[in-house]
Amino acid sequence: MKSKRLFRELLLAWHREKNKRVMPWKGEKDPYKVWLSEIILQQTRVEQGLPYYEKFIDRYPTITHLANASEEEVFKVWEGLGYYTRCRNLLSTARIVTENYAGTFPSDYDSILNLKGIGAYTASAVASFCFNLPHAVVDGNVLRVLSRFFGIHLAIDSAQGKKIFTQLAQECLDKDQPGEYNQSIMDFGATVCKPVPLCKQCPLNKKCVAFNSGTVADLPIKQKNIVKKERWFSYFVFSFKDETYVQLRTEKDIWHNLYEFHLKETAADPEWNARKIKDWLELDLKIKAIKNIVVLSAKKQILTHQVIHGYFICVNIDQKPLFNLSTKGVWLNNAEIKTKAFPKFIHQFTGREALQAQLL
């Protein structure tokens, strides 16, 4: 118990005297803004998320403004952040709060936790920062700090580990100032006790078990890494005059309801060459009027459970093909394409200005 109190005191002293981390939502009491920042920052670095936060607040100053926006418009604002389920849940929750709570965020932990896309971490952040409720945040940063300071060699992702660490986090919490405490441990994990920590200048090092036993590099312990599924996406970018063919992803899969080019997915690297591409276009898609073809390798994208590899195959044609009329495919000009939301994987292609000018 004594070591938990000491940990809390050292951490809060560091926060008061040395914590220089600046973020626009820090000290924020408006639950809409805190919630929005937490959702944006899930699986996203602060530097990447910051312009999105500002864009959302600028465009939707209150949760009701967000609730009244269309899904297509909000997707466009979110475009480039990835993990689109977050965006979908964001909109659902904005609508629930507007309809069921008259636009005022609920102020008790269980009601916050019940909202769509809000887990224990975000619920604790909103409850403690905005309503001073005693709920400790637990995320990767917090687990790293706790496992090292207390020298706990239990897998943080095991059932037992989750239970023990959640309990420990709650016991360390300063119940009188839960928001301040949560902010300090989040910032400490992000700036001092980082994956490669700054132990020599850490004000907690005299009492840190991992530092004093030479086990910092071993902690935190994780069970095995997730085996990621490898997928190969070949995107055929069909251009006819000043139009390009795009389609909506409607299947239950990643990037649901985002736009893409015509896709051919293969189980392994298709190792395209000009002959293979022409054969496939002619035999499978009945496309013969081809002006030219350019093949580009895509940079792989690593998602939580998948790795996406692929190609962009630009095909200039003399006549519109009749493929896939059953899908939500459309021919659009460059200006129209810019109004649609595409997955990040496709941005690496659409971002190539020279190619855009030439092919879109």
Q: CA 38, CA 34: separation in Å to the nearest integer? A: 6
Among 66, 202, 341, 360, the residue binding ligand SF4 under the rule CB under 6 A is 202
Q: CA 308, CA 103: separation in Å to the nearest integer? A: 39
What are the backbone angles phi and psi of residue 305, rounded to the nearest 5°?
Answer: -120, 5
Contact between 237 and ligand SF4 by CB under 6 A: the answer reads no
Contact between 199 and ligand SF4 by CB under 6 A: the answer reads yes
Contact between 211 and ligand SF4 by CB under 6 A: the answer reads yes
Residues 135-164 that bind ligand SF4 (CB under 6 A): 148-149
Among 168, 216, 237, 317, the residue binding ligand SF4 under the rule CB under 6 A is 216
Size of the site for ligand SF4 (CB under 6 A): 14
Q: Give the interface segment with ligand SF4, choosing from 23-31, 81-89, 204-212, 232-240 (CB under 6 A).
A: 204-212
Contact between 15 and ligand SF4 by CB under 6 A: the answer reads no
What are the backbone angles phi and psi of residue 263, rounded to the nearest 5°?
Answer: -110, 135
- In the chain the beta strands, taken as DSSP E runs, fall at 229-240, 243-248, 259-260, 262-266, 290-297, 301-302, 306-317, 329-333
Residue 9 designated active-site: no
Q: CA 314, CA 281: separation in Å to the nearest integer? A: 12
Q: Which of 28, 38, 243, 260 is catalytic?
A: 38
Which residue is associated with the tokens 């896939």? 324
- Quote the least distance from Cβ 173 to ligand SF4, whole Å: 17
Q: Give the single-character DSSP code of 133.
A: -
293: β partners: 315
User: Which tokens in the block code for residue 92?
Assistant: 């659902």
**Which residue, 211 or 245, has its beta carbon nearer to ligand SF4?**
211
Q: Give the interface segment with ligand SF4, choosing from 8-16, 55-63, 114-122, 201-209 (CB under 6 A).
A: 201-209
Where along the sequence are the contacts to ligand SF4 (CB under 6 A)? Answer: 148-149, 192-193, 197-199, 202, 204-205, 208, 210-211, 216
**Catalytic residue annotation:** 38
